[in-house]
């Protein structure tokens, strides 16, 4: 579905960026200048997965991002909340910036584009270990997700009885999991769990469809803020393995490039986000969107070595 067909999305026009070969969504984010140093660079290219861009537009609707105070409701989830927080602070601290959402569905490709300076900032968080590999080419934000706080569920198709009845570690290890080997924390977590079958695909859409169509049994996903914890994505309906969760090791950050626009974000927007982290506002946003989910807080974390899992 083309994003520009939705009336809620403030679209100027679509274009393709050289070398990216991705459609882009242009959205206005303010009306004053960036400041003397960045006046000639008032375009901010934000790398974002296609599904996040789409759901962000539905989540925001006709609201002004600068007035956004709540991060719950339909289409809310962790990565949508992260993009909303980023764009709200861009609008507040860098007025006059035109935001261009550059849709890149590959996690690794997004970081390569950041390193090359073909995008200015990542619109969703990435793992600290992956940012460290970029060295001086990436300017990290403060950690939005602290070490040990990234707890996810194992999701399967509603009619996959084998997966839903996997109540022992051995039964879980026998399931076919799908992930992206570029998502280093997810991949290492599944390997450490001892999964005997790991399918490597490069986009979220491929993961969802692999599980929905029975080519894989489970994928990892944060718990959404839905009453039944079900995951609706890519036109598919997936359900969690109840009473089981996994912790991904590491902290997650946004990151800016060393381009003039990226440096402006690092200098103005990231300190604003750091203040929101320190006041607990970022954590509240994660709670409202369901990422820190009280309904699963008591579920055993399978790979928590301090509290061995006993099904």
Give the CATH number, domain containing residue 160.
Answer: 3.40.190.10
Whether 65 shows a pLDDT value over 70: the answer reads yes
Write the pLDDT tens digit of every residue in 218-259. 999 988 877 899 999 999 999 999 999 999 988 999 999 999
Using DSSP, state whether 125 is helix, strand or coil. coil
- DSSP summary character for residue 268: I
pLDDT at 2: 30
Closest CA to 17 of 84, 96, 104: 104
Residues 6-33, mean pLDDT to the nearest whole number: 33
Residues 120-124, mean pLDDT to the nearest whole number: 98
Whether 6 shows a pLDDT value over 70: the answer reads no
Angle at 77 between CA 73 and CA 79, to 5 degrees: 140
Its pTM stands at 0.74
Long-range interactions of 89-92: CB distance < 8 A, separation 24+: 89/269, 89/272, 89/273, 89/276, 90/29, 90/30, 90/44, 90/265, 90/269, 91/29, 91/30, 91/65, 91/66, 92/66, 92/272
Residues 62 and 186 in one domain: no
Q: State both tokens at 139.
A: 């300017």
Residues 137 and 271 in one domain: yes
When divided into structural domains, the chain yields a total of 2
Domain that holds residue 88: 3-145+251-279
In percent, the amount of the chain with pLDDT more than 90 equals 71
Residues 85 and 231 in one domain: no
Residues 119 and 180 in one domain: no
pLDDT at 308: 58
pLDDT at 309: 66
Residues 168 and 136 in one domain: no
């Amino acid at each position: 579905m083309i994003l520009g067909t939705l009336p809620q999305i403030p679209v100027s026009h679509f274009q393709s960026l050289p070398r990216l070969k991705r459609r882009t969504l242009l959205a206005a984010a303010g009306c004053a200048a960036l400041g003397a140093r960045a006046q000639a660079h008032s375009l901010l290219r934000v790398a974002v997965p296609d599904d996040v861009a789409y759901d962000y537009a539905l989540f925001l609707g006709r609201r002004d991002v600068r007035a956004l105070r709540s991060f719950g409701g339909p289409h809310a989830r962790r990565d949508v909340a992260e993009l909303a927080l980023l764009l709200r602070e861009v609008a507040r601290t860098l007025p006059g910036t035109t935001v261009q959402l550059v849709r890149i569905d590959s996690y690794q490709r997004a970081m390569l584009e950041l390193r090359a300076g073909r995008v200015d900032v990542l619109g969703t968080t990435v793992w600290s270990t992956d940012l460290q590999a970029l060295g001086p080419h990436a300017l990290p934000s403060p950690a939005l997700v602290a070490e040990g706080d990234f707890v996810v569920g194992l999701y399967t198709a509603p009619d996959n009885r084998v997966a839903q009845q996997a109540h022992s570690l051995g039964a879980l290890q026998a399931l076919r999991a799908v992930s992206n080997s570029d998502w280093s924390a997810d991949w290492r977590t599944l390997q450490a769990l001892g999964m005997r079958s790991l399918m490597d695909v490069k986009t979220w859409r491929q993961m969802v469809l692999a599980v929905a169509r029975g080519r894989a049994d489970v994928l990892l996903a944060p718990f959404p803020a839905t009453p039944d914890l079900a995951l609706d994505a890519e036109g598919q309906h997936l359900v969690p393995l109840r009473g089981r969760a996994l912790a991904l090791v590491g902290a997650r950050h946004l990151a800016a490039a060393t381009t003039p626009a990226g440096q402006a974000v690092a200098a103005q927007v990231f300190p604003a986000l750091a203040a929101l982290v320190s006041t607990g506002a970022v954590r509240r946003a994660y709670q409202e969107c369901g990422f820190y989910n009280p309904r699963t807080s008591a579920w055993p974390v399978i790979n928590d070595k301090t509290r061995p899992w006993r099904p």
